[in-house]
């Protein structure tokens, strides 16, 4: 085993779109940045490993004028030019090349950070190092920086550092939010696996695995849309785990999602209700796309009322425009529709005070773990918004590092 010590100005942990944009923005401002990602590819949920579509403030055309510029805009344009078909592997490459184009970024793929050292009490906590294990290389790498950005989605780094956070749904009384439940609970949005299919041009047989679920015994065929030609994100509603612990029950959640995917495909191929003779499964996700876990507490907690009233913050550094998009706790088994939406009358602001920890002095965050209530997170969580937030947080981190 090799032990290594790296001392960049800034360490960004998590290489989803938030972390990528944070790393690029800080690097362009002259800081030495380590970008540490525990998967073999960048992009988080948008990567070829999960394959979620990148959405943002335009909300599928409702706010046409609001398309993200900045680093996310560069990625969009490059993707439109080189990958108009939306091939997920080419999207991985576009993100990888954007990172590799920055001389100030050192990229650590396959490196899982799970040790954090921090000192100080109360509001004086400071992270002194984070350590990751690079899988396949037997390298244990310690990162010592002035500033750390938790872009892990699940928020493991901040948790290990003792950063304050929220998990689940706040009570309505906490922030006066109409869409919050009366009583606080631990419910989150669930996780999802997607699958791709293709027409092979010749008949293909499908024998389901023993663990495939008989979905005719569930409400799925009645309550959800199933079409033989659909692929990928059309099946965003294959969601489960909202009443479980998204992280600690990740394996259980994956197994349930797999059982349903193979069951849906059995229904499509073998029920006689679809034209699917020549269709086969081309790709099935194995890494659950997680929607929600910890949300760190910053100096400000963004709420439903801020979003809907389009509150203008003096420290606005990012914007969003997607609906507040919440899902029923039972996910795909819910009788209710798979999602409900509440729109502001246009775009809304995200303040800088929601992008740094209230008690860990040298930690910023970007992505789905920012300081927002569960309801407000329902809109800030889309990836182009996470990316814009990442660019802002990376800029803030660079200023902090430059000014000591």
Ligand X SMILES: Cc1cc2nc3c(=O)[nH]c(=O)nc-3n(C[C@H](O)[C@H](O)[C@H](O)COP(=O)(O)OP(=O)(O)OC[C@H]3O[C@@H](n4cnc5c(N)ncnc54)[C@H](O)[C@@H]3O)c2cc1C
- Contact with ligand X (CB under 6 A) among 317, 368, 393, 400: 368
Query: In this chain, which of 8, 16, 394, 396 binds ligand X, going by CB under 6 A?
Result: 16
Indicate whether 321 belongs to the interface with ligand X (CB under 6 A).
Answer: no
- Give the dihedral sign, CA 350/353/359/361: positive
φ/ψ of residue 11, rounded to 5: -115, 125
CB atoms within 10 A of CB 135: 14
Within 10 angstroms of residue 171's Cβ, the number of other Cβ atoms is: 13
Query: Judged by CB under 6 A, does residue 331 bind ligand X?
Result: no
Distance, CA of 227 to chain centre: 27
Residue given tokens 């902090």 in the structure block: 400
Residue 296 CA to residue 363 CA, distance in Å, equals: 10
Of 10, 12, 13, 344, which one interacts with ligand X (CB under 6 A)? 13
* Sign of the dihedral through C-alpha 22, 2, 133, 194: positive
329 touches ligand X (CB under 6 A): no
Decide if 158 contacts 393 (C-beta within 8 A): no
Q: Residues touching ligand X: how many (CB under 6 A)?
A: 37
DSSP label at 135? T
Selected range binding ligand X among 50-58, 92-100, 133-141, 202-210, rule: CB under 6 A: 50-58
Question: Shortest Cβ distance from residue 168 to ligand X (Å)?
Answer: 16
C-beta closer to ligand X: residue 358 or 383: 383
Which residue number, 290 or 349, has a Cβ lying nearer to ligand X?
A: 290
Give Rg (Cα) of the chain: 21
> Which of 12, 33, 54, 393 is in the footprint of ligand X by CB under 6 A?
54
Q: Taking CB under 6 A as the rule, does residue 15 contact ligand X?
A: yes
Alpha-carbon gap, residue 220 to 179, rounded angstroms: 25
| Residues in 63-92 at the binding interface with ligand X, rule: CB under 6 A | none
How many other CB atoms are there within 10 angstroms of residue 87's CB atom?
13
Q: Which stretch binds ligand X (CB under 6 A): 109-117, 177-185, 241-249, 335-343?
A: 109-117
Query: According to the binding rule CB under 6 A, does residue 37 interact with ligand X?
Result: yes
Report yes or no: 263 and 213 within 8 Å, Cβ to Cβ: yes
Q: What character string, x for contact with ligand X (CB under 6 A) and - otherwise, covers 199-238?
A: ----------------------------------x--x--
Q: Is 241 a residue that touches ligand X (CB under 6 A)? A: no
Which residue among 289, 321, 328, 351 contacts ligand X (CB under 6 A)? 289
> If binding is defined by CB under 6 A, does position 154 make contact with ligand X?
yes
- Nearest one of 373, 150, 333 to 242, comparing CA atoms: 333
The binder of ligand X chosen from 11, 38, 79, 131 (CB under 6 A):
38
**Is 391 an interacting residue with respect to ligand X (CB under 6 A)?**
no
Nearest to 197 by CA among 223, 236, 235, 225: 235
192 binding ligand X? (CB under 6 A): yes
Residue 254 — φ and ψ, nearest 5°? -60, -45
Encoding tokens for residue 311?
């509150």
> Following DSSP, what letter does each residue of 350-370 receive, concatenated?
EEGGGSB-SSBTTEEE-STTS
Instruction: State which residue, 157 or 276, has the beta carbon closest to ligand X.
Output: 157
Choosing from 24, 36, 98, 397, the residue that interacts with ligand X (CB under 6 A) is 36
Token output for 144: 């010592």
- 328 binds ligand X per the rule CB under 6 A: no
Min separation Cβ 362 and ligand X, Å: 18
List Cβ neighbours of 73 (8 Å cut-off, separation of 6 or more). 67
Q: Based on the shown chain and the rule CB under 6 A, indicate whether residue 386 belongs to the binding site for ligand X.
A: yes
Stretch that binds ligand X, among 37-45, 213-221, 241-249, 299-307 (CB under 6 A): 37-45
Q: Which residues bind ligand X (CB under 6 A)?
A: 13-19, 36-39, 44-45, 52-55, 112-114, 151-154, 156, 192, 233, 236, 289-291, 367-368, 381-383, 386
């Amino acid at each position: 085993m090799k032990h290594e010590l790296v001392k960049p100005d800034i360490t960004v942990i998590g290489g989803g779109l938030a972390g990528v944009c944070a790393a690029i923005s800080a690097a362009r401002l002259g800081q030495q940045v380590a970008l540490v990602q525990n998967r073999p590819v960048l992009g988080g949920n948008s990567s070829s490993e999960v394959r979620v579509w990148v959405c943002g403030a335009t909300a599928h055309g409702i706010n046409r004028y609001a398309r993200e510029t900045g680093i996310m805009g560069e990625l969009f344009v490059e993707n439109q030019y080189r990958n108009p078909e939306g091939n997920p592997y080419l999207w991985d490459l576009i993100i990888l090349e954007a990172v590799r184009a920055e001389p100030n970024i050192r990229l650590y793929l396959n490196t899982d950070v799970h040790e954090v050292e921090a000192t100080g009490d109360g509001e004086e906590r400071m992270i002194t190092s984070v350590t990751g294990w690079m899988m396949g290389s037997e390298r244990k790498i310690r990162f010592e920086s002035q500033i750390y950005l938790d872009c892990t989605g699940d928020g493991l780094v901040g948790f290990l550092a003792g950063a304050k956070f929220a998990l689940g749904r706040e009570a309505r009384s906490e922030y006066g939010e109409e869409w919050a439940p009366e009583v606080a609970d631990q419910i989150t949005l669930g996780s999802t696996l997607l699958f791709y299919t293709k027409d092979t041009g010749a008949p293909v047989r499908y024998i389901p695995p023993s663990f495939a679920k008989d979905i005719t015994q569930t409400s799925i065929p009645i309550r959800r849309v199933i079409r033989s030609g659909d692929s990928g994100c059309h099946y965003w509603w294959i969601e489960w785990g909202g009443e479980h612990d998204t992280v600690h029950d990740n394996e259980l959640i994956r197994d349930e999602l797999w059982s349903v995917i193979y069951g849906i495909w059995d229904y499509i191929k073998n029920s006689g209700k679809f034209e699917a003779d020549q269709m086969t499964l081309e790709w099935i996700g194995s890494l659950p796309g997680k929607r929600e876990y910890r949300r760190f507490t910053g100096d400000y907690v963004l709420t439903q009322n801020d979003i809907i009233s389009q509150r203008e913050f003096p420290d606005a550094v990012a914007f969003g425009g997607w609906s507040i998009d919440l899902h029923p706790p039972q996910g795909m088994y819910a009788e209710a529709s798979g999602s409900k939406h509440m729109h502001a009358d246009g775009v809304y602001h995200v303040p800088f005070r929601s992008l740094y920890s209230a008690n860990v002095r040298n930690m910023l965050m970007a992505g789905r773990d920012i300081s927002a209530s569960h309801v407000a997170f329902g809109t800030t969580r889309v990836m182009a918004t996470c990316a814009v937030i990442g660019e802002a947080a990376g800029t803030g981190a660079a200023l902090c590092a430059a000014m000591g």
